Amino acid sequence: MTEVVPLRIVPGESIHLLDQVQLPHEERYLRIATVDALCEAIAALRVRGAPLLGLAGACGMAIAATERGTTDDALRLAATTIAATRPTAVDLPAAVTAALEFALALPEPEREAALWAYAGEYAARRVREDRALAAYGAPLLPAGAAVLTHCNAGALSTGGIGTALGVIRAAWEQGTLAHCYATETRPLLQGARLTAWELARLGIPATLLPDTAAASLLATGRVHAVITGADRIAANGDSANKIGTFQLALAAARHGVPLYIAAPLTTVDFDCPGGATIPIEFRDEREVGGFGATRWAPEGLAAYNPAFDVTPDDLIAAIITERGVARPPLGSALAALRGGATVA
Ligand code: MRU
């Protein structure tokens, strides 16, 4: 099986993005060589998923240096523009800011090459951290486990093996996973289009369900764990993820099924004290009343379309990171992991 590569770096030139809007029907790479093209791709979800947005952001700073030059002003303006494209996933502004600070500390003639190298290292780190995270997460699942996941937290969302899907993949490779249920993930169908595609490639037995069937599936007792990614985790453990995660967490708690969040420490925003201060992206109302060129709702009807919701820390059994597993109380456990502790 060939690995999914959602983003390829051509140092000094451009990046090539697997256009996730076209999946699963078409595997088409887009050449991105300008900041504007990158911002369009991020806003349209051609590239998506918190850790991959971090990588795209780091690459964006390298693209900016090649396209617009390496003065302080040019790089600062590019950073502000890229970081503002989607508000919820903290990896995006964090990676852009880190790349900017790294470049500003260098003499101007060295910045462009250094930013491309920085982006390459960021990509390599994604691969390493996903593997480490999966190694911590897989043992949490019981033998013969069936899991339920939401949205897409696979290779398409990180550039490595994924976070939640990385754990699921590792458990499958170790022989402990029996089945994976995947929600469709309305309105943009990341589960039906992307996770289902990845699960099929991995050969993992899978079942797709409408988001609205999750509580009734949990009530059957067939699911042993719910596992998802996150876009931003507050310092106290409250976790923002794809809209619908909160209601999955409520249904899982009602049925005694643990909910695990799998995310690298770059997704933890230690400056954000709790979920109430996580910025939630609201998207175009037309995404709810149709898909692509097809519409089923009357034109002009109002729609409520938050892209993410926040699951409070007390509904989360553990947060799985590349440095170990944070268990309740999540706030102090995350702080310990950040400080360098390794918790198995
Ligand atoms: O709107 P999206 O598709 O970018 O939302 C993605 C998610 O909610 C993922 O679960 C999250 O980013 C984690 S990806 C490892």
Q: Is the pLDDT of residue 128 over 60?
A: yes
> How far does residue 93's CA lie from ligand 1's centre (Å)?
15
Res. 343: pLDDT tops 70? no
Q: Which of 242, 243, 259 is the best mutation target for the ligand 1 pocket, counting ligand atoms within 8 Å of the beta carbon and taking the most?
A: 242
When pLDDT is averaged across residues 245-255 and rounded to a whole number, the result is 98
Which CATH number describes the domain made up of 7-130? 1.20.120.420
pLDDT for res 26: 97
pLDDT digits (tens, 9 = 90+) for 173-187: 999 999 999 999 999
Angle at 258 between CA 253 and CA 259, to 5 degrees: 90
55 lines ligand 1 (CB under 6 A): no
Q: Could you tell me if the CB of 50 is within 6 A of ligand 1?
A: yes
Q: Which distant-in-sequence residues (6+ apart) come within 8 Å of 120 by Cβ?
A: 9, 11
User: Which pLDDT score is estimated for 308?
Assistant: 98
CA of 230 to the centre of ligand 1 (A): 7
Give residue 341's pLDDT band: very low, low, confident or very high (50, 70, 90).
confident
Average pLDDT over the chain reads 97
Active-site option among 91, 130, 211, 231:
231
49 pocket-lining for ligand 1 (C-beta < 6 Å): yes
Tokens representing 17 are 């993005």
pLDDT digits (tens, 9 = 90+) for 134-154: 999 999 999 999 999 999 999
The predicted-structure confidence for 67-121, as pLDDT tens digits, reads as follows 999 999 999 999 999 999 999 999 999 999 999 999 999 999 999 999 999 999 9
Q: Which two tokens stand for residue 202?
A: 């991995």
Fold of 140-338: Rossmann fold (3.40.50)
The answer to whether 231 is a known catalytic residue is yes
* φ, ψ dihedrals at 226, nearest 5°: -105, 135
Instruction: Supply the pLDDT for residue 332.
Output: 97
Residue 125 has pLDDT above 90, yes or no: yes
Q: What are the domain boundaries of the chain?
A: 7-130, 140-338
3 state SS of 225: strand
Give me ligand 1 centre to Cα 151, in Å: 6
pLDDT band of residue 1 (cuts 50, 70, 90) is: confident
Q: What angle do CA 228, 197, 145 make, to 5 degrees?
A: 45
Q: Is 193's C-beta closer than 6 angstroms to any atom of ligand 1?
A: no
pLDDT tens readout for residues 8-67: 999 999 999 999 999 999 999 999 999 999 999 999 999 999 999 999 999 999 999 999
- Poorest-confidence range of 25-29, 262-266, 299-303? 299-303
What separation in angstroms does the CA of 53 have from each of 147, 203, 204, 309? 26, 27, 26, 18
Query: Are 264 and 233 a contacting pair, CB within 8 Å?
Result: no
The predicted structure's pLDDT at residue 113? 98
Nearest-angstrom CA–CA distance, 29 and 35: 17
Instruction: Choose between 57 and 1: higher pLDDT.
Output: 57
Q: pLDDT at position 292, please?
A: 85
Tell the residue nearest (CA) to atom 10 of ligand 1. 229
pLDDT for 344 beyond 80:
no
Q: What is the DSSP string of 136-202?
A: HHGGGSPTTEEEEE-S--BGGGTSSSBSHHHHHHHHHHTT-EEEEEEE--TTTTIIIIIIHHHHHHH
